[in-house]
Structure 1
Amino acid sequence: MKFYDKGFIFKYKEYTQVQIFNAGTAILDMKIYEDKVCRSTFKCQDLKTFNKENLASSYPDNFLKELFDRNEKEVSFKDKENGVFIKIIRD
């Protein structure tokens, strides 16, 4: 997955929702729960499977949720070995 556009991060009690838009069209709508990730383009996956297919199987199950739940203005994660780069800048 590669996205370089604007989006929103919504934090709810039961999940964190990430929406990314390009030219006003949603290109990613993902809900991250404690035990699964659901995207509008496919059915929900458990965290281990999601990490294996989209990030790296060595990542902890809660990696993605913890990354998006940080309250810092800028969050950056780079893993050259697995080709993963995630940068979140909050306005």
Structure 2
Amino acid sequence: MKFYDKGFIYKFKDYTQVQIFTAGTAILDMKIYEDKVCRSTFKCQDLKTFNKENLSSTYPDNFLKELFERNGKEITHRDKDNEILIKIKRD
């Protein structure tokens, strides 16, 4: 998955929602729960399967949820071994 556009991160009681838009159209709408990730274009996946297919099987199950829930103006995760770069910049 590669995205270079603006988006929103919403934190709810039961999940964290990540929406990314390009030219006013949602290109990613993902809900991250404690035990699964659901994307609008795919069925839900358990965290281990999601990591294996989209990130790396070496990542902890809760990696994505914790990454998007971190506070800070700029968050960067760089994994050169798996060629993964995730940058979150908050306005």
Q: Does TM-score exceed 0.5, indicating one fold?
A: yes
- Secondary structure at 1:43's aligned position in 2? coil
1:12-34 Cα offsets, whole Å, 9 max, x none, are 00000000000000000000000
- Superposition pairs of residues 8-87 of structure 1, within 5 angstroms: 8-87=8-87
Identical columns (%): 81
Which 4+ residue blocks in structure 1 deviate beyond 3 angstroms? none
Whole-angstrom CA distance in 1 between matches of 2:68 and 2:79: 17
Q: Give the TM-score taking structure 2 as reference length.
A: 0.99
1:27-84 Cα offsets, whole Å, 9 max, x none, are 0000000000000010000000000000000000000000000011110000010011
Give me the CA root mean square deviation: 0.3
Whole-angstrom CA distance in 2 between matches of 1:11 and 1:74: 17
Q: Give the TM-score taking structure 1 as reference length.
A: 0.99
Q: Structure 2 unaligned runs (5+)?
A: none
Whole-angstrom CA distance in 1 between matches of 2:34 and 2:75: 20
Q: Structure 1 unaligned runs (5+)?
A: none
- Number of residues paired by the alignment? 91
Instruction: State the one-letter code of the partner of 1:85.
Output: L
Whole-angstrom CA distance in 2 between matches of 1:59 and 1:50: 10
